[in-house]
Structure 1
Amino acid sequence: MKALTGNRLTDGEVVFWKQGAWVERFADAELFADAAAGEAAEAHAKSQQTVVVDPYLIDLVESEGLWAPLSYRERLRALGPTNHLHHGKQAEGGAAIEALQHASGSARSTGRVNLIKR
């Protein structure tokens, strides 16, 4: 399962694709079981370059009966700022937020971890 995400150009907000439009909540995102459908949506979204920056597909994992991003980075993006539980999208609470907070999966690094440790 996959979802399409990007950052809105006007304010940098993390947004998700839903049937031809961008929504702010991961819980509202359109999920793609078919890779071809996800790639078609990605191509359509990339043609709207004045709306979002670099839209891309993310992998999802089932969490508490709902779907959540597989990578830790994408879960953080979906929750909003994580400096305090009462900030960002996570402050809304609910089952979708709980699923995001309790999901587990891989975290990817492209070598930047060593730069951060310095």
Structure 2
Amino acid sequence: MKRAIRIAAGEALVLTANRLLDGHIVWRDAEGAWNRSIAHAAILAPDTYESALDSATQSAQADGVVGVYEVVVRPGTIAEPVSVRERIRAFGPTVHPQFATELDA
């Protein structure tokens, strides 16, 4: 079953998934490789993203990813996800870095 997505004027799509090896969030680039940074994500037009999504879904197991889906973004130097959930996935936690426990490690 296909997800319902809302794309406003001036918005586009990128593809995301989770890497099976370690669970990291990854973003698909124009060559079909998966990267940890949304800065490398291929910007897809709303009327043409379906073939890229189908291709990524079919090769997901071979690529070592799971849960491939599209994310609505505002294109720019670095694509900015529209939803809060996806901004957190792309750019990290919503806590101030001073309070992050990982800094103590």
TM-score where L is the length of structure 1: 0.62
Corresponding residue for residue 3 of structure 1: 14
Partner of 2:88: 76
Structure 2 counterpart of 1:55, from 64, 68, 87: 68
Q: Which runs of 5+ in 2 are unaligned?
A: 1-11, 101-105
| Structure with the bigger percentage of helix | 1
Report what 1:16 is aligned to. 27
Which of structures 1 and 2 has the larger relative contact order (alpha carbons within 8 angstroms, sep 6+)? Answer: 2
Match of 2:103 in 1: none
The structural deviation recorded for 1:66 is 4.6
Q: Post-superposition shift, 1:45?
A: 1.0
Question: 1:39: Cα distance to partner?
Answer: 1.2
78 and 39 in structure 1: CA distance in 2 versus 1, 3 angstrom threshold: same
TM-score, structure 2 as length reference? 0.69
Unaligned runs of 5+ in 1: 89-118
- Tell which deviates more after alignment, 48-57 or 16-25: 48-57
Match of 1:11, as an amino acid?
D
Map of 1:25 onto structure 2: 37
| Residue of structure 1 in register with 2:54 after alignment | 43
CA contact (8 A) 1:80 1:87 kept: no
- Distance in 1 of aligned mates of 2:99 and 2:26: 17
TM-aligned CA distance change 1:25 to 1:59, over 3 Å: same
CA-based RMSD? 2.4
